[in-house]
Amino acid sequence: MRTQHPKAFLDSRTRRNWAGVYYDENGIRRYVTLGPKADLKKAKAQNKLDQIVGPINVMRVSRNVTAATTLAQYVEGTYLVHGKRKWKPSTAGTTGQRLRSHILGGELAALRLSELNRLNHYRLKAGRMQDD
């Protein structure tokens, strides 16, 4: 999969200072003042911003989802993390509990994302119906 990093850009709306705009590791938009325009050229301001954003992008790559990632790793590391930011507390509690009991606690947890397809779904569903 191709890694996409949120674009960090220089904000030139202010008259006197270069301002950098980027998204931090939690997805929150951040502003940083890089220095006065009179003393700092645009290229140097961009380099300063790249130094700030560099470690964040490295951390994003380490969290990157690949075909070898298991469903349990994806749900715990990506889906629940992003969901909890947008869900109400009651939704986060019930949805997290359901995912942990049905998906992470079951046989789906060990499946790699590349193995998820319709045939595996039907096979697992048929196995559950026979258990009942």
Amino acid 6: pLDDT: 59
Query: For residue 125, what is the enclosing H or E element?
Result: helix 118-131
> pLDDT, tens digit, for every residue of 59-103?
776 666 777 788 888 888 878 887 888 889 999 889 989 988 888
Amino acid 1: pLDDT: 45
Average pLDDT, the chain: 80
Amino acid 44: pLDDT: 92
pLDDT band (50, 70, 90) for residue 9: low
- Interacting residues of 129 by C-beta distance below 8 A, sequence separation 6+: none
